[in-house]
Amino acid sequence: MEDLLEELLAECRPYTQQGTLANYIPELAKGNIDDLGIYVQRSDGRHYQVGDYKKRFTIQSVVKPILLLLALLDNGEEFVRSRIGVEATGKPFDAINVTDQSLLSEHLNPMVNMGAIAMCSLIKGATYEERFQRLLDLTRTLAGDPNICLDEAVYQSEKRTGNKNRALAFLLKSYGLLQDDVEEVLDCYFKACSISVNSKDLAQVGFVLANRGKLPQTDERIFPSRYAHYVNAILMTCGMYDGSGDFAVRVGVPAKSGVGGGIMAVVPTRMGIGIFSPGLDGKGNSLAGAQVLERLSKRMYLSIF
């Protein structure tokens, strides 16, 4: 397995130069476009890693399935479904024109920015600081890494420049889909996207989703199996932004990308995969990372289709 990963690393490293750093967030523009790391956690307890798998980066949109899990744990599936839809928008992750009609809860999707901002308001806590801390704690538990923390520089960078997300939040507010103070909700969202992780962390989170809510090694259940089914289904249809259909055909596993360059992939019952390469394609997905996953899926017959 390690030989295969080394081979894929060599095959896909040239693709790192074809991507673009997410320069609309100034701190992300400081990334090294040459980085490429892969970590695989298998159901037999074995793990394999190559490249820059120890390199830390901000989780960005890969936090969205964790946000969804926490919203489900706090409120149950029926309540979450009443507030956040599940249909793919078919539009970019930061799109404002989700619909030409009045904005309704079913127009929201947990894997795009507008839906994720709304999900922050569904997390329980007396303050938004407490809500973020609970999200951070769940991320640490799923990843098996108590040292995961906030990247303060990226958080401040996002907060200074995140005016499009402010527009999305105020649009939610104007349609009655957000009751709380917009800046408090956004602060939680910006912090959520600025959680610092590495490829191993993403692989571990992906493995828990692949293992239907149970942690590796201990088999301790963190969330009901049904929630894994719910999250994985949405990842399959929406996790790679408006490139999700193409990704389903090419790779065929539930996955979530982030503009920090991370991809978390879920191979149900078999493995979790974490990849980092910050050069992005036109959809906002890691270009080299998607190439690695496509080749790995074909070599190991990972597609669920």
The pair of structure tokens assigned to 94 is 């930061």
What length is written for the chain?
Answer: 305
Q: Rounded distance, CA 277 to CA 167, Å?
A: 29
Q: d(Cα 264, Cα 240) in Å, to the nearest integer?
A: 10
Active centre residues (catalytic): 61, 64, 189, 241, 259
Residue 279 neighbours by CB distance under 10 Å: 23
Q: Find the DSSP H helices in the chain.
A: 2-12, 64-75, 77-83, 113-120, 128-143, 152-161, 163-174, 182-193, 199-210, 225-238, 244-250, 287-300
> Which residues fall within 8 angstroms of residue 126, CB to CB, at 6 or more apart?
none
The span from the CA of 180 to the CA of 294, in Å, is: 41
Start-to-end C-alpha separation, the chain: 23
**Distance (Å, rounded) from C-alpha 109 to C-alpha 98?**
10
Distance, CA of 2 to CA of 17 (rounded, Å): 24
CA 166, CA 181: separation in Å to the nearest integer? 12
